[in-house]
Amino acid sequence: MPVSTMETTQVTLAVRSETSPGEVIAVVGSCEALGCWSHQKAVTLHPSGNDGNTWIATITVPKGIVSKYRYFKGFFLESKSAGGPCQVIVNMWETHHQPRTMSPTASHQNIDDGQFGIHNGVNCVDSGWLTCQTEIRLRLHYSKTSPVSITKKKFKKSRFRIKLTLEGIEEEEDEEDEAISPSSWPKMTSTLDISMISANGYKSRHSQPECGNALEPSQWTEYSIHTMDPDNLELTFEFFEEDLGEHVVQGDAHPGHVGTACLLSSSFLESGKDIGVATLPIMGRNFRQTIGKVRVDYLVIRPIQGLQCDMSSSFTKYWKKRSTLDVGHRGAGSTHAAKHHRIRENTVASFKSAAKHGAAYVEFDVHLSKDAVPIVYHDLTCCISTKKKNDKTSLELIEVPVKDLTFDQLQLLKLAHVTAMKENDNKDLLDDEDEIDEHQPFPSLSQIFQAIPEHVGFNIELKWICQMKDGSWDGNLSSYFNMNTFLDIILSCVLQKGGKRRIVFSCFDPDICTMVRHKQNKYPILFLTQGISEKYPELMDIRCQTTQIAISFAQSENILGISAHTEELLKNLTYIGDAQSKGLVVFSWGDDNNDHETRRKLREQGIDGLIYDRICECLVPYFDSSSSDSPSARTKESSQISSK
């Protein structure tokens, strides 16, 4: 029925909640009157009653037709351009798997939805994502050395506390312009939050003590700033001595205050880098003398460009508890290290084989080609074969970064895995000659979405460079793509092509995990961690060094969970239950998972997902009578556990 002839009715919605100054409650839903799930088109409610905590709105909706809807809290701010739409920031929103519904039949209906966030007796809310605001992270940590270095002798043995204050740089406004185009919408005040992460847990704060927080060698201290004006912030670090003598306290108007370091946000934003390190001079209290320096890591998180997330569903923290999921590592399994393999890893054929044998998910790595096409391949580098002059028989392999080759070059060139260079093995090159497309390496992410049945979930590892404790870099790459651009391209592809497929992201880089959580509102991410390992070199970032601190990081960033290295889990099986008791999902990865007995042991501990090779040999497919199109699978170990 055309919208113009559809019978409508008026509905008055009411919901209760406290709000912060300037914050409003809005409703968004499936019909046009409710914005078709777009936060930008949401309907704002207005406070009613003496306490101001009851919010109401009257809307006109289709009569007798089911409309789904959710409430959210947020700010509706002035437009960036004169006469443009207001900018909407979502602070907190209802994320129930099944949203609220209405199907009004009377000419006017009142619906009292009770308390914000509670639907059918279940409280389910989540923080918002970046819609139009920018988030700046400043971090102090001991990954390399102490971030604070004071050269003045009397402070040589001192421990310090640090406080960050935030100021906006005032810009002169044209009074004439201001008079012509007054805004009915408020401006957003920049906000500052602090989190402190260690192996023992995490703390989050909205305020700081008068003398700041102590710096600890085992702790990662992070300041998070949300702002609509990222180019015009003045950030001031105040330094205080931790242990003060009584004579110092009594004779000082600012007890223990040592010095100040200032940082203008424009100084690193103008560089074009969204991640980096700033070294700032610390000025003494008389501001005429430099007494030391402080090393500050920064991270800038921007909204996805060219794509707006809708509010129809969210799985960022949703996990339906079930028996352990079997996840096919790189599809049917890693092959370059295997002596015998029939299907090459990370190819369409490999993923199809894993799906055919009943894998719940397939795991694969995604990064970008030189021309910014999301591709599926494990390593950051590959080998190109070249022939020597006057020698038609011998081949020479040259290792090149995947990011330096276009998508077409990756499809056309004779390429080999980096292990071929180490082992003087040209098997990959010979195999390429007669392979059909489904067996070829470097498929695009779009091809994988099109080729693999939708009932098969994707565990998408976002490939990024890692720095080792000794200062070396993964793939010898110390620089990579702009992190925001890298993620915008991949996330846009997934959000547009994901459909109803179950998708979980994962990454070894904690900053990537943070960005994915804040850039979109639909898919969850797991923090990949190798923990304490004898097989792999220790990583520089302290957030990556143990499973325990990985758990704290996942809690702090409110992500779905962790994907832990089985090598450390086998030594500390209690980590699984510990993480789950804190609301986290736990997957595991590693060569140890290829052992039947190890998988059985982890299943008994209730692990949520197992990533392993040769999944086609381990799973026994069967068809569930309740489903006509999707195969399920049992493993020997899962059958043994279920029979206990």
User: What share of the chain has pLDDT > 70, as a percent?
Assistant: 83
Task: Lowest mean pLDDT of 302-306, 338-342, 393-397, name the range.
Answer: 338-342
* Angstrom distance (rounded) from CA 201 to CA 186: 37
Task: Lowest mean pLDDT of 19-28, 58-67, 323-332, name the range.
Answer: 323-332
Residue 642's pLDDT is 38
Task: Lowest mean pLDDT of 69-78, 270-279, 305-314, 517-526, name the range.
Answer: 270-279
Residue 626's pLDDT is 37
Residue 222's pLDDT is 98
Neighbouring CB atoms inside 10 A of 320's CB total: 7
Residue range 173-192: average pLDDT? 60
Residue 389's pLDDT is 64
Residue 158's pLDDT is 85
**Residue 488: which H helix or E strand, with range?**
helix 483-497
Q: Is the pLDDT of residue 434 over 70?
A: no
Looking from the CA of 557 toward its CB, the CA atoms found within 13 Å total 29
Q: Give the domains, in start order, of the chain with CATH numbers.
A: 3-127 (2.60.40.10), 134-172+184-301 (2.60.40), 325-379+436-618 (3.20.20.190)
Instruction: Give 98's strand partners.
Output: none
Contact 475, 401 (CB under 8 A): yes
Q: What is the pTM of this model?
A: 0.89
The SS3 assignment for 502 reads coil
* Angstrom distance (rounded) from CA 354 to CA 197: 38
Q: Is the pLDDT of residue 56 over 60?
A: yes
Calculate the CA dihedral of residues 490, 491, 494, 500 and round it to 10 degrees: 160
Comparing CA positions, the residue from 593, 557, 552 lying closest to residue 575 is 552
Instruction: Give 110's strand partners.
Output: 12
- For 28, phi then psi, to 5°, come to -140, 145
Residue 248's pLDDT is 45
Contact 202, 231 (CB under 8 A): no
Residue 632's pLDDT is 47
Task: Lowest mean pLDDT of 37-51, 426-440, 574-588, name the range.
Answer: 426-440
Neighbouring CB atoms inside 10 A of 465's CB total: 19
Contact 638, 324 (CB under 8 A): yes
Q: Is the pLDDT of residue 71 over 80?
A: yes
- For 52, phi then psi, to 5°, come to 75, 10
Q: Is the pLDDT of residue 15 over 90?
A: yes
* Angstrom distance (rounded) from CA 565 to CA 568: 6
Residue range 264-268: average pLDDT? 92
Q: How many Å from the N-terminal Cα to the C-terminal Cα in the chain?
A: 56
Q: How confident is residue 189, by pLDDT bands cut at 50, 70 and 90?
A: confident
Q: For 11-149, where are the alpha helices, taking DSSP H only?
A: none
Q: Is the pLDDT of residue 605 over 90?
A: yes
Residue range 425-434: average pLDDT? 50
Contact 587, 563 (CB under 8 A): yes
Q: Is the pLDDT of residue 641 over 60?
A: no
pLDDT digits (tens, 9 = 90+) for 609-630: 999 987 756 555 443 433 434 4
Task: Name the CA radius of gyration of the chain, rounded.
Answer: 28
pLDDT digits (tens, 9 = 90+) for 73-92: 999 998 877 777 889 999 99
Q: Is the pLDDT of residue 339 over 50?
A: no
Contact 54, 25 (CB under 8 A): no
Residue 428's pLDDT is 52
Residue 414's pLDDT is 72
pLDDT digits (tens, 9 = 90+) for 587-596: 999 999 999 9
523: CB partners within 8 A, 6+ apart: 315, 316, 494, 495, 498, 503, 504, 505, 516
Residue 504's identity, in one-letter code, is V
Residue 338's pLDDT is 47
- Output the six-digit token pair for 319: 């996990």
Q: Is the pLDDT of residue 337 over 50?
A: no
Mean pLDDT of the chain: 87
Q: Is the pLDDT of residue 250 over 50?
A: no
Longest dimension (CA), the chain: 92
Residue with the two structure tokens 């994502």: 129
Residue range 126-143: average pLDDT? 97
Burial class (CB in 10 A: 0-12, 13-18, 19+), 519: buried
* Angstrom distance (rounded) from CA 409 to CA 369: 9
Neighbouring CB atoms inside 10 A of 619's CB total: 23
Neighbouring CB atoms inside 10 A of 288's CB total: 7
* Angstrom distance (rounded) from CA 194 to CA 202: 11
Q: How confident is residue 569, by pLDDT bands cut at 50, 70 and 90?
A: very high
Residue range 273-296: average pLDDT? 91
- Output the six-digit token pair for 349: 């054929």
Comparing CA positions, the residue from 39, 205, 24, 11 lying closest to residue 116 is 24
- For 131, phi then psi, to 5°, come to -100, -45
Task: Lowest mean pLDDT of 94-98, 240-244, 443-447, 599-603, name the range.
Answer: 240-244
Q: Is the pLDDT of residue 252 over 70?
A: no
